Structures are given as C-alpha cells and as structure tokens.
A and B are shown apart, each in its own frame.
Chain A
Amino acid sequence: MATKRAALKRKDLLGIEPLSVEEIHLILETASSFQEVAARPVKKVPTLRGRTIINLFFEPSTRTRSSFELAGKRLSADILNFTASASSVVKGETLLDTVLNLESMAPSIIVIRHPASGAPHQLAGACKASIVNAGDGMHEHPTQALLDALTVLQKKGSIRGLNVTLVGDLAHSRVARSDVLIFSRLGARVTVCGPPTLIPLEMERLGARVVFDMDEALRGADCIIMLRIQVERQTQAFFPSIREYFRWYGLTEERMHQAAQGAIVMHPGPLNRGVEIASEVADGPYSVILDQVANGIAVRMAVLYLLSAGRG
C-alpha cells in the first residue's frame, strides 16, 4: 500500500528558495483540493477552528491581504487584520516589539508584508507562531509564485518544458524573483525581459535567460507574465517615459502573435493599462488574470493548512 505522506517540514513559509520540488508539489496538490470548497454551497470548513491568524501589513495591499483573510476565514480561523498606518508603529515601536506584543495574543500564524527584505526571516527566529511571507521588500512573494504556478498547471497541464517569459521591472519585483525560482525549479525554461536598467545581474544566476528585445522574448512563449511598472518609482528615471516604455515593452495584441499557440497571459496586479499591458490583451481570451485571483485563495488555504497540521 503506497499511501503518499509528503510533508511540509517547516514552521514558516519565507520564500520559494528554501522549498524542495516535493514541497512545492504538495502545496499545489493541496490547493487543487481546496478549490472544491469554493464551489460548495457552504464555502467553509472547520479545520482551523479556534486558531488565530494575524495579518500584519506594513505596505498597502488589497488583493493579497483580502485573499489571506478569506483563505483563513474559509478554514474557520479567527483573523486579526493589522495595518501599520493605524498602529503603534507610527509612534515609533520597532518591528520586533510590535510582533512580540502581537504574539502574546497567541496567534498560530502571522502573515507579514514588510518593505524591508528579510523582515519575515528575522521574525521567524524570534516567534513561536508560524510566519508567512506575504511580500518582503524586493526579495520574495512566495504565495504569489505558488498561485502563478497553480494557474499555469491548470491551464497547461504541466510546467516541465514550458517557455515562461517575464517582462517588466524585474529589479524591484519580489514577484519576479519568486516566479523565476518556482518556474525554473519546476522545469520550465524561463526568460526575463525588460530595459537593462530594470534587469538585475542575478537573474542569470537564478536560472533565467536574459533578453532585452521584447519580440525575441515572446517568441514561442507558452506563458507570459507581465510585471507591474511601479509608476510611483518613476522619479528615478529607469527609462525615459511611460510612452516609450509601452512602445518597447508593452504587451499588445500585435505582439501576442510571436507567442506560442494557446499562450496565456498573467499579471500579479494591480494593472497599469497602457503602461505594461494593453487593454485588449488584459481583457482578451489569453488573459488568465482573474483565474490567478481565484487560485490565490486556494493556495493560501493550502499554505495555512499545511503549516498548521501537526502543530498545536
């Protein structure tokens, strides 16, 4: 009798980097099972009844925070939402003090988003609660990469051997770093593309092919992940103008002809229409952007569940 007993042998989910291929598959398989819950008349299971999850967000977020909140609620956990602007952080409390205070409320899991890369790692060592990284600085955003992988898996059947292309601001994007890690680990050929000022040198070390020409990057792509241009950072002049950026690196209907038959287009949101992606593409038949949002809840349920099982 070969019952599969894979396990997520860790207290925290800090990034894709430390995860083994088996652990990634376990999370994705568990997430697929959780999708069924969303289709039920009663979209809730009692699994985490009596446990507390704290959402600790030091940066603005709608999608990720509400996705974690709904994931926790569908598992019957109690959720405490905590945003930095409305807390003692503005009175000068340090991150560690804030978290140790919250920990005395006995949460099982703390989900954290913080502008400093590595903040969740620091807390993981100091806290008994499981820490889930919901985005740290320019470092990682593991649940976004997991939901991207789940979306590709569902649309394409498998990830091994696919051509995955990421386009845009790879320098400031934690989604990009986690995506490059997960897709190359699962056996895809990963290409990254953008203006040279926005492509960090380490992309090749992470296993990606670096291309500066958009048409070349799109040629034969099965999956195109468009990254958000952080318009608010445009004071630093990484490229001459938004219009010029769109001309060279914007995803248009016309450019889609370069991609493979049946290619899909993803975007972690929020969209800048007419900056990195044309509306016809964002709303077009190849767009799976809204599937990504639905898959996000299932992936986060799987992560919360797997970190809780076997722990008090």
Chain B
Amino acid sequence: MKDAQQIMTATQMNEVLHDLAEQIVGRHPQVDEVALVGIRRRGAPLAHRLAEKVGALRGRKIPVGTLDITLYRDDLTTIAPNPVVHDTFIDFQVEGKVLILVDDVLYTGRTVRAALDSLIDYGRPRKVELAALIDRGHRELPIQADYVGRSVETREDQIVKVMLKEEDGVEQVLLVTQES
C-alpha cells in the first residue's frame, strides 16, 4: 500500500520558483555572471524555468546548462543494472561565472557532491551555489543549499516526488509513504 499526499500544487510550485528567482536576484543584483545548471533529470527543466524568471526580473538572458551525473555517482556497484547515461550540455564558458546548481529535491547531498565533481571538469567557476525546490533533510554529507524553495519534514522511508509537466505530464509534488 502506498499513501501519496500532495504537498504542493502547480500554482504553489510556480510561486516557490518565483521566490527562488527573487532570492537569486537579491544576492546577485548584477546578474551578468550568473548561469544556471540543472541536474538531470528534474533539475534540468527547473533550471530553465528559473533562468526565465531571473532573466525576466533583470531583463536579460541567463545561460542554462544541464548536467548528467551518472558517471560521477558513488554507487556504481549497487545501482540497478545499467543507469542510462545522458548527455551533459553546457555550451558556455564556466570560467569566472557564478554557477547555480538546480535540483528538485535536496536529500542526502550525494547527488550534489557528484555534480560538483562533474562541474570542476568543465573549468573553474568563480563560485558555485545550490538551489533546491525542496529540502527534505537527512543529509549524509556536509552540503547545504543557498536557496531553498520549501523545507519539508520527512521520514527516511518516505519519498518526495516532484512531478513536472515536461517529464511527467502533470505538475505537483507528492509525499509518498510506503505503508507496511
């Protein structure tokens, strides 16, 4: 049995993204150096949306890239047979930029660790920051987000499921509880 509780609606998600965009602009009023990098899969569409909002607030275009971290994971021996490797797509110079990593859910911090390793292979950004739509706690590494959309209290056996229209056809966030 699974129990899925909706913790965010499409409207709320949009508001939270807008709020994240304002936080980013608040910290970097001159957004010229800012570029967003979404972590595949669901961080990628979020990064594009966030870049549009930041761009609209400042009237300029913000570069966006996407990062596939499959090759940098620390669990190659244990994950289900073959995780599919997707393309990483960063078509701007990362040197000197303030890169903001974007992910849907911040949990153990291992994804972010892998993303940081991967980013360094593309060059030396001036600064790397982290934005997450949802911070659900339970960190296993010393990693914190600079921009958090919403903090959610969770138990480790629960799953926070972010659904986006680009990937899932619907737009909502669910808190799924596995009932024994």
In the complex, residue of chain A having the shortest beta-carbon distance to the beta carbon of B83: A309
Q: Is the CB of A29 within 8 A of B80?
A: no
A78 to chain B, nearest CB (A): 16
Q: A41-B122, A45-B121 are in contact. Are A6 and B84 (CB under 8 A)?
A: yes
Q: Is the CB of A36 within 8 A of B81?
A: no
Q: Is the CB of A33 within 8 A of B87?
A: yes
Interface size on A, residues (CB 8 A): 32
Bound-state CA distance A160–B44 (Å) is 32
Partner of A309, one of B79, B117, B123, B163: B79
Partner of A41, one of B78, B83, B121, B168: B121
Q: Is the CB of B81 within 8 A of A8?
A: yes
Q: Is the CB of B85 within 8 A of A305?
A: yes
Instruction: Report chain A residues within 8 Å CB of B121.
Output: 40-42, 44-45
Interface-facing stretch out of B25-33, B68-76, B135-143? B68-76
Instruction: Report chain A residues within 8 Å CB of B68.
Output: 33
Interface size on B, residues (CB 8 A): 26
Count A-B pairs with CB separation below 8 Å.
72
Q: Is B9 an interface residue (CB 8 A)?
A: no
Partner of A47, one of B71, B78, B120, B122: B71
Give residues of chain A (4-41) contacting chain B, Cβ–Cβ below 8 Å. 4-9, 26, 29-30, 32-34, 36-37, 40-41
A294 to chain B, nearest CB (A): 17
- 0/1 per residue, B56-98, Cβ < 8 Å to A? 0000000000001001100011111111111111000000000
Q: Is B166 an interface residue (CB 8 A)?
A: no
In the complex, residue of chain B having the shortest beta-carbon distance to the beta carbon of A31: B85
Bound-state CA distance A41–B120 (Å) is 10
Instruction: Report chain A residues within 8 Å CB of B3.
Output: none
Q: Could you show 13 A-B contacts with beta carbons less than 8 Å apart?
A: A4-B84, A5-B81, A9-B81, A36-B88, A40-B122, A41-B121, A42-B121, A46-B71, A47-B71, A302-B85, A308-B76, A309-B82, A310-B82
